[in-house]
Every structure is written in C-alpha cells, then in structure tokens.
Amino acid sequence: MTLFDKYGGVPMLTEVVKEFHARLIRRPHLRRYFSEITAEKIINHHVEYISFALGKPSVHFTNDELHEWHLPAGVTKASFKASTDLLIDVLEEADFSEEDLDQVRKRLNSVLDEIVTKGIEK
C-alpha cells in the first residue's frame, strides 16, 4: 500500500496540494520558478510532485525526462530543500507519521540530482 492510499487517496491529495500550493506561492524565491507557467499547469505539477512523493505517480517518467523538464528552471539545492520542507510541514499537519515523513524525504531526495539543475549539465 502506498502512502497515497494509506492517508486517504484523492481527497487527502486535494487538501495537501491546496495547502502546499498556497504556502509555496507565498514565497517569492519559490514562486519565481512558476512565473511563466499557467495556474492550471502549476497545480498539475504539484499534483504530480506530491503523488510521486507519496508513492503513486500519476505519470511515469524517466530520470532523464525529469532532468530535462527542470533544466530551464535552474532549480537550486536551497530551493529544492525549501520546497521539500514545505511539503513535509503540510504532511506533518495532515497527521503523517514520522516514519512516513522519512519515506517521503527519501523518495524526494532520490530525484534531487534530476531536479536541481542550477549550473549543472547532465
């Protein structure tokens, strides 16, 4: 069973995405990555990101594709960490256990090298 299923599936995901999005958009250093993207695409991106973090990606992608998508944004390690910390805070408030939060951190950190693209060529 994935964390997605364990914590309530789509209804939980909907609430987590709303809260994560609201917190992320309030931070200019994170919001800047989405300045050229429509609101719909931002929300879809957050759904994909959080679904992946919870073990249920809705779209399958390769690490190379993930890297290529993030390369133009120039995501920094600090921004990646800030985004991860925001998500962990939201999940913690949604009563995720510490063990499950660790699982989310590990899953997200598994793609750090694909998402962090500032000054990096693959």
Q: Which amino acid is at 21?
A: H
Interval 52-63: pLDDT, tens? 899 986 667 777
Our measurement of the distance from residue 28's CA atom to the centroid of its chain's CA atoms, rounded to an integer in Å, reads 17
Number of domains in the chain: 1
At 97, phi and psi to the nearest 5?
-70, 160
Q: For the chain, how far is it from start to end, CA to CA, in angstroms?
A: 34
CATH number at residue 75: 1.10.490.10
Instruction: For the chain, list residues with pLDDT below 50.
Output: 122
Interval 32-41: pLDDT, tens? 888 888 888 8
pLDDT at 122: 44
- pTM of the full predicted structure? 0.87
Does residue 120 belong to any structural domain of this protein? no
Q: Among 72, 75, 74, which Cα is nearest to 84's?
A: 75
What is the span of the domain harbouring residue 75? 3-115
